[in-house]
Amino acid sequence: MAMAQVAVEMPEVEPEETFKMLGRGVNVHYGDKQALFDVSLAIRANQVTSLIGPSGCGKSTFIRCLNRMNDVIEICRVAGDITLDGRDIYSPKIDAVELRARVGMVFQKANPFPKSIFDNVAYGPRIHGLASNKTDLEAIVVQSLSQAGLFEEVKDRLHAPGTSLSGGQQQRLCIARAIAVTPEVILMDEPCSALDPIATARIEELIDELRKDYTIVIVTHSMQQAARVSQYTAFFHLGVLVEEGETEFMFTTPRDQRTQDYITGRFG
């Protein structure tokens, strides 16, 4: 955490206030193996930032640093600086549990709790005390499900088990669950990799809508998806952040040869 010696070269014109989150000199080790080398990346507010790169390149590792999910893994060590609204999230003053309420996460495989649809969404507000009574809680659940574009499909069976839904619906349920605690940032770790194209399209539309209210970081395998949903893209390779910038420019005029090779499909 004290390793913030790396000054980041950010585009001159951009004031830091537009950065919702900012990683500086992030190094991550799993035991003896180093997974991330000196990564510095800005996440801009109310934008979708996609992290792309071949398997094992460290993009999932990086996204899991943003809400300290790596804390749960015992052998994982994170060094460097990551800030949320300018405050170091790895500082001892920050409680990882509260941080995760502000920085929500959606996982690769839809993982609803084995509870009812309602309870899945209501769980977060309940443990964080966001609703003072039952009516409030119901309002939060309905609003979250609507925002996730799921309410119309499930309104008649809110008490059916969450696992009875289809894969795409389960993933939207997980998104509803994440936004029910009103996070500021939503991290999505390959949210569509287990879905069919139609369900994927729904989620992508949803991401675009959610951008108005949330800052979104998405890890994806698919460059097409990155191009479709994100405003900013960061390309990781072998634990190094090779290149980052506006999606448009990344895909048309990459500066690094490796990025060029990856997006033209020469490796991956």
> In terms of CB distance, is 13 or 72 closer to other proteins?
72
Of 119-127, 192-200, 219-227, 257-265, the window that binds other proteins (rule: CB under 8 A) is 119-127
Task: Tell me the H-state helices in the chain.
Answer: 59-66, 96-102, 117-128, 134-147, 151-154, 167-179, 197-210, 223-229, 247-252, 257-263
CA 85 to chain CA centroid, nearest Å = 16
Residues paired with 84 in a beta bridge:
21, 87
Interface residue with other proteins among 41, 106, 141, 217 (CB under 8 A) is: 106
Residue with tokens 């069919």: 196
- Among the residue ranges 84-92, 112-120, 193-201, 222-230, the one whose residues contact other proteins (CB under 8 A): 112-120
Judged by CB under 8 A, does residue 1 bind other proteins?
no
Range in contact with other proteins (rule: CB under 8 A) among 33-41, 48-56, 104-112, 220-228 = 104-112
Q: Which residues pair with 103 in a beta bridge?
A: 185
Residue 114 binds other proteins, judged by CB under 8 A: yes
Cβ-based nearer residue to other proteins, 129 or 197: 129
Residue in 3, 10, 127, 139 binding other proteins, rule: CB under 8 A? 127
CA distance 245 to 233: 6
Could you say which residues in the range 162-201 bind other proteins, by CB under 8 A? Answer: 174, 177-178, 180-181
Let me know how many helices (H) and strands (E) the chain has, helices first: 10, 10
Reading the block at residue 190, the tokens are: 């390959």
**Contact positions toward other proteins, by CB under 8 A?**
67, 69, 72, 74, 97-101, 104-107, 109, 111-114, 123-124, 127-128, 174, 177-178, 180-181
